[in-house]
């Protein structure tokens, strides 16, 4: 069950209590590894610079790990710096080496389609107006015209195989049974070439990315140092894990996507709402624009009144509203309340109701399915006799209406002709779904 947090979504602004954006990034736990910290602090507190972050279209949507990078970009832009959002039309055809096995290569048509999707997602979080307007770029624009001979002569000559072999992703694969193909081995050269191209074309002097990409990030800094005899910078954000060491952003093996068609706003909201007390303040620092004063207040609330879950409700509201908008967030909150009898299921739109039901234990039904059979089929009770007894004791609800007749069917309760919520007691829920 959830309720609306008192505060509305915060405006996107950096916290003025910090001397500069570098200090704020460190406070928020967003710097795991970097080039020279002193030089970066001076660079980011000085005149505007151009920086970039790259996203490969290896799926039709970005996920929460990518959102970390996007929000780093936004914080740097709010500090006056100029973002380049790179969606890799060429690197997406290759794929960076995974630790365990070779990637499945997608078709050129699929990658091109996904490039468009990802460009739209990244663009939603940046500003394309003003002196530090963002710009979207595609590395296919400069790699497609390049011949293999030119690539080897102009770019490959700067790379040393010994150094490439020491990169974490490469060495892990070399020591595995799968090995590594020349295709994926070459990925770091392509990413390094991106940084060089953006340095030459836009004066880009900083790349950001996940710390698991550090080998690829430094491929770019090293290439520019050799080819241009100058130094540029890189920041690697930490890989975010839960306090128990499990990978963040995974739900039963599935990523939490930014595309509402892949992860509904309801499921997205519930993901954040279920954040553990030990993780919630760290998540608020990374994924919201709350200032230090508010973060410290919420940290105290977690310590003193954890049962109120104010920090979790604030986190869920802020991030869901940031990604999906306030109306979708309010619908998700209304759905959660309605499931537990604190609102009208009939008032929900079909998309929100379907998403909420999908998150419950589910049973396929027909209009003729009896509630007794549905109770057993959903696992809310263990037998038909237990189902009848629960109804006679007044402990069964269909769409929040108490049932009294143990011969009732689900037909008239199906909302939009296909969905109903079955509840035993106050908190045990299941979804009923009728095929069209």
Q: Who contacts 82 (Cβ-Cβ below 8 Å, separation ≥6)?
A: 48, 49, 50, 51, 132, 133, 134, 135, 202
Q: What is the CA radius of gyration of the chain?
A: 26
Closest among 127, 110, 120 to 75, alpha carbons compared: 127
Domains and CATH numbers, the chain: 30-237 (3.40.50.620), 250-359 (1.10.240.10), 360-436 (3.10.290.10)
Query: Is it the case that residue 247 has pLDDT exceeding 90?
Result: no
For residue 244, what pLDDT is reported?
A: 79
Instruction: Say if CB 425 and CB 391 are below 8 A apart.
Output: no
Instruction: Say if CB 126 and CB 74 are below 8 A apart.
Output: yes
Q: Who contacts 23 (Cβ-Cβ below 8 Å, separation ≥6)?
A: 41
Q: Who contacts 388 (Cβ-Cβ below 8 Å, separation ≥6)?
A: 372, 406
In the predicted model, what is the mean pLDDT of the chain? 93
Confidence band for 121, pLDDT divided at 50, 70 and 90:
very high
Mean pLDDT over 384-388 rounds to 96
Mean pLDDT over 342-358 rounds to 93
DSSP 238: P
Burial bucket for residue 237 (CB in 10 Å: 0-12, 13-18, 19+) = buried
Query: Is it the case that residue 253 has pLDDT exceeding 70?
Result: no
d(CA 431, CA 421): 5
Query: Is it the case that residue 238 has pLDDT exceeding 60?
Result: yes
Q: How many CB atoms lie within 10 A of CB 365?
A: 25
Query: Is it the case that residue 313 has pLDDT exceeding 80?
Result: yes
Q: What is the pTM of this model?
A: 0.91
DSSP 241: B
For residue 250, what pLDDT is reported?
A: 58
Closest among 45, 52, 48, 10 to 24, alpha carbons compared: 45
Confidence band for 248, pLDDT divided at 50, 70 and 90:
confident
For residue 246, what pLDDT is reported?
A: 77
Instruction: Say if CB 97 and CB 181 are below 8 A apart.
Output: no
């Amino acid at each position: 069950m959830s309720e609306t947090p008192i505060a509305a979504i915060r405006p996107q602004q950096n916290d003025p209590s910090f001397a500069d954006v570098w200090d704020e990034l460190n406070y928020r736990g967003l710097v795991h590894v970097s080039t020279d910290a002193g030089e970066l602090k001076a660079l980011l507190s000085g005149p505007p610079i151009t920086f970039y972050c790259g996203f490969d279209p290896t799926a039709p949507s970005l996920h929460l790990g990518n959102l970390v990078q996007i929000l780093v970009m936004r914080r740097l832009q709010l500090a006056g710096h100029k973002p380049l959002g790179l969606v890799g039309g060429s690197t997406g055809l290759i794929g960076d080496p995974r630790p365990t096995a070779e990637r499945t290569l997608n078709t050129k048509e699929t990658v091109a389609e996904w490039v468009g999707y990802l460009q739209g997602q990244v663009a939603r979080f940046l500003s394309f107006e003003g002196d530090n307007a963002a710009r979207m770029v595609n590395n296919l624009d400069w790699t497609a015209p390049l011949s293999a001979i030119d690539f080897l002569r102009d770019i490959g000559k700067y790379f040393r195989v010994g150094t490439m072999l020491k990169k974490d992703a490469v060495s892990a694969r070399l020591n595995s049974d799968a090995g590594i193909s020349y295709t994926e081995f070459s990925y770091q050269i392509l990413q390094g070439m991106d940084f060089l191209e953006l340095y030459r074309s836009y004066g880009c002097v900083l790349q950001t990315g996940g710390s698991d990409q550090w080998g690829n990030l430094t491929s770019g800094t090293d290439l520019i140092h050799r080819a241009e005899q100058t130094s540029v910078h890189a920041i690697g954000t930490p890989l975010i894990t839960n306090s128990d060491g499990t990978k963040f952003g995974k739900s039963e093996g599935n990523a939490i996507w930014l595309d509402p068609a892949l992860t509904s706003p309801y499921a997205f909201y519930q993901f954040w709402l279920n954040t553990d007390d030990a993780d919630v303040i760290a998540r608020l620092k990374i994924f919201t624009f709350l200032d230090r004063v508010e973060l410290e207040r919420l940290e105290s609330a977690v310590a003193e009144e954890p049962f109120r879950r104010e920090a979790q409700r604030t986190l869920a509201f802020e991030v869901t509203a940031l990604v999906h908008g306030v109306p979708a967030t309010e619908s998700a909150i209304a759905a959660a309340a309605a499931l537990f009898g604190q609102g009208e299921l009939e008032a929900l739109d079909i998309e929100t109701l379907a998403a909420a039901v999908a998150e419950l234990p589910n049973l396929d039904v027909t209009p003729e399915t009896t509630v007794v059979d549905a109770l057993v089929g959903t696992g809310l009770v263990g037998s038909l006799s237990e189902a009848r007894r629960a109804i006679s004791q007044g402990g069964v609800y269909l769409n929040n209406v108490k049932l009294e007749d143990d011969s009732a069917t689900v037909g008239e309760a199906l909302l939009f002709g296909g969905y109903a919520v079955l509840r035993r007691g106050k908190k045990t829920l299941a979804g009923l779904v009728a095929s069209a």
